[in-house]
Chains A and B, each alone.
Chain A
């Protein structure tokens, strides 16, 4: 059931990974990832824990440094600048500038506990983009409305349920008007009955044409909303394709073994 209202994924690559390697000391977590995420695409990353999918996600906004390969966001190299055949590390300020365009949602929400829901959403626009407080507040209220939490604007995170916190976290990321959203297991820390509200918000985002990379165990969401899916295991891409194909008719033994446990 492909909905026609949704803006179709274009051919322009939003994220391109070429042989991305990442190791922590002796342990190699990513062993050469090649993939391409197109604009307006909902790109799902699935796989067992320890397969490197979260690490890969964190490389995209340079929370982790890659050790080999190349990673591009919107055509620009992540974390480095190429001069001739040499790579130069970007300064903190330049990295921060690029992160503005990439929203991230964490498994444990990571809302700022000393700020209300509203303040969580206005913080980055005011501090980073130097937006006026009144304007930022107005936009933040609209975003909270969008995630269904306008009435909780004055609540502190500790006064919100997990599902509500995660929706505030999504609003907080959207406040920076990103061109790409990264979701790191956004529903894994939630009670089952609260998962639906968060997925609804994400579905709405997808319909509006947001480019999204989603690390998830929600196969239903991947099948229904996803445009592309990659199955990762042991730091490599095992299988990729359209979610319905990969989930419905997995070609690889390891994919089949994994899916038989989670579906």
Chain B
């Protein structure tokens, strides 16, 4: 059924259009405005004495700040891990036919999403006031093992519980939206093949839901990186607390905050790149051709001007982003 002859399309082809492109004078005006503003900003940055760049450099190298980066990263990674695992669990519970499970998940989300994370952090850090010790045993009966709350929940654990459990509530809603975005025909087809519920979820529904889940999860991760600064209230020294301590000690708050902002920007940039490639991976099969990576884009630009701006007329139903089609992308395959 492969028809390859395209007929007489090549014969008597009229000459290629070379039109004068539309001019954009407004753009030149806006370039001028932006340039002036940028010059003003640079002027402030390098002449204002409050911005002591030597001090910024010293802060960047300060051992407590460098250690703070690691605490921030650790907190972000672990609380996001808790958030994602908890979120998937809660989302599946929420969508369960079992009313006890879905009710429990609903209640959890209601509580943890409905109270400020700052409050939750303080609560976890002071759990010792509520229960002096935590023990395992028969409810209202004897206990087999017990430990003092303050030993069991040190400040790092309290921070993790506060951030992670709160995040799980948000992730639950993100995962639920992802699961519900998958066409019902998918799970039907999988069930018809004899797959169990768990297999359908793991192999068919979740991988497709990922496309919807990942972008907001990337947002959540970047947001979490910055939210970790809230643990200052429970005196855990991470990046922000380290910078803040320096700024109060030296009365150079602007320089100290600029120093830690540089680190925050660096970290979010790395996360953004990671998110890009993760999204690309889960887009496989959804787009007929994957969009080129930035590297491929740059290469295409140097290889010979903008890649395939004029899409071949043979593929009207081109992939989602026609401008992204690399030259020579397979636009065949369909309609063989």
Question: What is A's interface to B at a CB cutoff of 8 Å?
Answer: 61, 63, 92-93, 96-100, 102-104, 106, 108, 110-116, 123-124, 127-128, 155-161, 163-164, 169, 172-173, 176, 194, 197
Contact = CB atoms under 8 A, between A and B. Distances in A.
9 contacts: A96-B196, A99-B191, A103-B192, A123-B193, A127-B203, A128-B195, A160-B334, A172-B193, A173-B193
A161 B203 contact: no
Interface string B21-47: 000000000000000000000000000
Contacts of B336: 161, 164
B188 A97 contact: no
A93 B197 CA distance: 9
A96 B285 contact: no
Contacts of B288: 156, 158-159
Contacts of A161: 333-336
Contact of A124 (B1, B188, B195): B195
B152 interface: no
Contacts of B186: 110, 112
Interface string B302-336: 00000000000000000000000000001001111
Contacts of B188: 63, 106, 110
Contacts of B195: 96, 124, 127-128
Given A112-B204, A160-B333, A97 B185 contact: no
A157 B199 contact: no
Given A63-B191, A108-B185, A158 B287 contact: yes
A157 B285 contact: yes
B199 A61 contact: no
A215 to B, nearest CB: 14
Contacts of A98: 194
A99 B334 contact: no
B196 A93 contact: yes
Contact of A97 (B194, B203, B286): B194
Contact of A114 (B185, B208, B333): B208
Contacts of A169: 189
Given A96-B195, A114-B286, 5 more contacts: A63-B192, A98-B194, A112-B208, A128-B199, A159-B334
A95 B207 CA distance: 24
Nearest to A111: B189
A149 to B, nearest CB: 10
Nearest to B186: A110
A157 B185 CA distance: 15
A131 to B, nearest CB: 13
Contacts of A172: 193
Interface string B177-215: 000000101101111111111010001100110000000
